[in-house]
């Protein structure tokens, strides 16, 4: 049977949200028409979500469970959904219902107009602190300016992608993944759809500040050489300052100035240059660590249970 729509929902300890997610997705997709499937990717849940996913799969054949052997992360869970999705259009949605399933028909409408990537743009954000809003806005704008690919502002993973796009993304197996950047990198005909992001339906966020920071680092190192270029920039600045300081010091000494006597100036210069060097080594280490992870060639994820068909 040909599946027209695949909905991918990564799940990590979302027991309270699962029934409502299933109910609303089923209601929306039944009204949309066409065949559909809901891939619930359990990312090593420990709160009973795994059993709830199995129960939903037994109750409704639209639900296809993908159960990870352990927690591999949200971005990898999306990748597993891409690997097993059978639909002509593939939709990624968060399980916490901050991305309302009721927006899906708008994404489908744009897809039917001929767009191959339809990303949802967060016009409003409910239930989030000022700190989260400010840092999120800064994150998107920094990424937009420094990465090689122009990733749409204020767009998360909530999007629809055509089968052609998904087939290309399935060939990209890098370990440090940033799906929204990857879907921008592949090109194709893309358009945004504004929507109001809702507050979390239940439970607590699974993306605290440290995970957001790690995601930002993956985005920067995966799509930009900017940190490496900054290390070079600081190197030139340091060398330039040193070159300018040499004749100044010589002239001041010849004039009998006592300003540059002692070791304080030397110590400051050494500490400054040492800091620049350590920062540069740290940046190189981040990139080298990613090369090492890729060289190991380990699988992105391991399933303990997969769909029957």
Tell me, yes or no, whether 151 and 285 share the same domain.
Answer: no
Q: Do 147 and 285 belong together in one domain?
A: no
pLDDT at 262 over 60: no
Query: Are 136 and 241 part of one and the same domain?
Result: no
The verdict on 138 and 85 lying in the same domain is: yes
Residue 209 and residue 288 share a domain:
no
Question: pLDDT value at position 121?
Answer: 84
Lowest mean per-residue pLDDT among 14-28, 34-48, 128-142, 171-185: 128-142
Residues 219 and 244 reside in one and the same domain: no
Q: pTM of the full predicted structure?
A: 0.71
Cα–Cα distance list, 108 to 91, 166, 185, 188 (Å): 9, 16, 21, 16
**pLDDT value of residue 108:** 92
Query: What is the pLDDT averaged over residues 16-40?
Result: 90
Rounded to 5 degrees, what are φ and ψ at 221? -75, -25
* Vertex 178: Cα angle to 219 and 297 (nearest 5): 105
Indicate which CATH number applies to the domain containing 210: 3.90.550.10
| pLDDT > 70: percent of the chain | 67
Tokens of 56: 């939903």
Q: Are residues 177 and 288 in the same domain?
A: no
Regarding whether 145 and 97 lie in a shared domain, the answer is yes
Q: Residues 78, 126: one domain?
A: yes
Question: 94-110: per-residue pLDDT in tens?
Answer: 888 888 889 899 999 99
Whether residue 232 sits in one domain with residue 213: no
Q: What pLDDT is attached to residue 38?
A: 93
Domain enclosing residue 72, as ranges: 5-224+299-305
Three-state DSSP class for residue 161: strand
Q: In the chain, pLDDT over 90 holds for what percent of residues?
A: 17
C-beta of residue 52 within 8 angstroms of C-beta of residue 20: no
How many domains in the chain? 2
Segment 184-241, tens digit of pLDDT:
888 888 888 888 887 666 666 656 666 667 666 766 666 666 776 676 677 677 666 6
Q: Are residues 252 and 189 in the same domain?
A: no
Do residue 59 and residue 164 come from a single domain? yes
Q: How far apart are CA 150 and CA 185, in angstroms?
A: 8
**Average confidence score pLDDT of the chain:** 79
């Amino acid at each position: 049977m040909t599946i027209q729509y695949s909905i991918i929902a990564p799940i990590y300890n979302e027991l309270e949200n699962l029934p409502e997610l299933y109910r609303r997705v089923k209601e929306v997709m039944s009204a949309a028409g066409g065949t559909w499937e809901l891939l619930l990717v359990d990312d090593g849940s420990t709160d009973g979500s795994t059993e709830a996913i199995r129960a939903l799969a037994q109750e409704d054949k639209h639900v296809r469970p993908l159960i990870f052997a352990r927690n591999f992360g949200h971005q990898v869970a999306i990748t597993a959904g891409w690997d097993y999705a059978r639909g002509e259009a593939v939709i990624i949605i968060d399980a916490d219902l901050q991305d309302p399933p009721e927006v899906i028909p708008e994404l489908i409408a744009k897809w039917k107009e001929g767009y191959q990537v339809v990303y949802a743009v967060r016009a409003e954000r409910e239930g989030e602190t000022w700190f989260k809003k400010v840092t999120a806005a800064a994150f998107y704008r920094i990424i937009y300016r420094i990465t090689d690919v122009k990733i749409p502002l204020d767009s998360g993973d909530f999007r629809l992608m055509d089968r052609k796009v998904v087939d290309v993304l399935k060939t990209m197996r890098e370990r440090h993944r940033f799906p929204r950047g990857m879907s921008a990198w592949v090109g194709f005909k893309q358009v945004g759809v504004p929507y109001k992001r809702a507050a979390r339906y239940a439970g607590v966020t699974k993306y605290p500040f440290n995970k957001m920071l790690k995601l930002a680092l993956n985005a920067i190192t995966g799509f930009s050489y900017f940190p490496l270029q900054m290390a070079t920039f600081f190197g030139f600045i340091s060398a330039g300052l040193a070159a300018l300081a040499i004749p100044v010091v010589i002239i001041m000494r010849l004039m009998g100035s006592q300003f540059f006597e002692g070791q304080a100036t030397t110590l400051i210069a050494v500490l400054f240059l040492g800091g620049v060097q350590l920062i540069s080594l740290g940046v190189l280490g981040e990139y080298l660590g990613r090369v090492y992870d890729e060289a190991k060639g380990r699988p992105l994820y391991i399933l303990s249970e997969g769909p029957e068909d």
